[in-house]
């Protein structure tokens, strides 16, 4: 665990040095959710990079974290115009730069911000890079309307997706910031994430944790290999 935390901090330090001028010049910034991206948020705050900026948070968790440091932010559903730069973590990345996100339950609002951003940057450690040209490593979270929860669950079960309704520490259904529930599925190898994402969008499904590479510009991955940080990009 200590080693992974070291790599989380490392990748955020490198990303900050790589993109600090982008954040300095940006007027509107989007911030993701999770333990990795919090290290990057800390760097932005320590270097006064969020002063006089419009900041959008992808969750109430990030919103409250920023507030604890005296930084005002707006929630993702309020984002009606283009965001200059967005940074977030991820749970799984393929060599095609498709992602799985959502263990923190914020993937709906995260996707809102990513889809409205000019530049999308993702940071993570080597344990989340699958080294394949497909997705398979992590469960896919699906945000579902509460009144459709069981019908969606049964639909996924009938298709062999091994659905599990996500529960909290009190054995109650997890409730997202949008007031919905989450089903995690394990469909196996996903060769075409974009097509599979569309297949999942049945009645009652609000959003999926599949972030196709059209929502990704840069991925930075830290690890013990030579060079320590690997940079993947879709921009030349």
Mean pLDDT value across residues 150-161? 98
Looking at the chain, the domain(s) classified CATH 3.30.70.260 span 140-208
The reply to whether 110 belongs to the active site is: yes
Is residue 25 within 8 A of residue 79, CB to CB? The reply is no
Q: Which residues contact 70 (CB under 8 A, 6 or more apart)?
A: none
What is the CATH topology of the domain spanning 140-208?
A: Alpha-Beta Plaits (3.30.70)
pTM to 2 decimal places: 0.95
Looking at the chain, the domain(s) classified CATH 3.40.50.1360 span 2-132+212-233
Q: In CATH, what number does 2-132+212-233 get? A: 3.40.50.1360
Q: Tell me: the pLDDT tens digits for 78-108?
A: 999 999 999 999 999 999 999 999 999 999 9
Q: Tell me: the pLDDT tens digits for 2-30?
A: 788 999 999 999 999 999 999 999 999 99
The angle at the Cα of 182, spanning 178 to 183, to the nearest 5 degrees, equals: 155
Q: Tell me: the pLDDT tens digits for 38-63?
A: 999 999 999 999 999 999 999 999 99
Burial of residue 42 (number of CB atoms within 10 Å: 0-12, 13-18, 19+): middle
Is residue 123 within 8 A of residue 169, CB to CB? The reply is no
Find the catalytic residue in 72, 92, 110, 225: 110
227 against 218, higher pLDDT: 218
Is residue 216 within 8 A of residue 120, CB to CB? The reply is yes
Is residue 222 within 8 A of residue 14, CB to CB? The reply is yes
């Amino acid at each position: 665990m200590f080693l992974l935390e070291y790599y989380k901090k490392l990748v955020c330090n490198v990303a900050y040095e790589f993109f600090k001028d982008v954040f300095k010049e940006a007027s509107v910034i989007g911030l993701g959710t999770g333990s990795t991206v919090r290290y990057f948020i800390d760097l932005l705050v320590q270097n006064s990079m969020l002063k006089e900026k419009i900041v959008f948070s992808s969750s109430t968790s990030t919103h409250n974290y920023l507030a604890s440091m005296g930084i005002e932010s707006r929630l993702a559903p309020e984002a009606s115009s283009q965001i200059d730069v967005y940074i977030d973590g991820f749970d799984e990345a393929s060599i095609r730069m498709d992602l799985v996100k959502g263990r923190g339950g914020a993937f709906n609002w995260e996707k809102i911000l990513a889809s409205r951003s000019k530049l999308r940057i993702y940071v993570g450690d080597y344990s989340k890079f699958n080294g394949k040209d497909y997705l398979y490593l992590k469960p896919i979270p699906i945000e579902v309307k509460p009144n459709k929860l069981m019908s969606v669950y049964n639909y996924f079960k009938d298709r062999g997706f091994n659905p599990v309704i996500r529960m909290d520490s009190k054995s109650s259904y997890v409730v997202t910031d949008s007031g919905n529930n989450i089903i995690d599925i394990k469909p196996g190898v996903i060769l075409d994430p974009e097509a599979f994402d569309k297949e999942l969008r049945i009645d009652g499904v609000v959003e999926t944790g599949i972030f196709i590479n059209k929502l990704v510009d840069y991925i930075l991955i830290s690890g013990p290999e030579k060079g320590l940080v690997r940079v993947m990009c879709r921009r030349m």
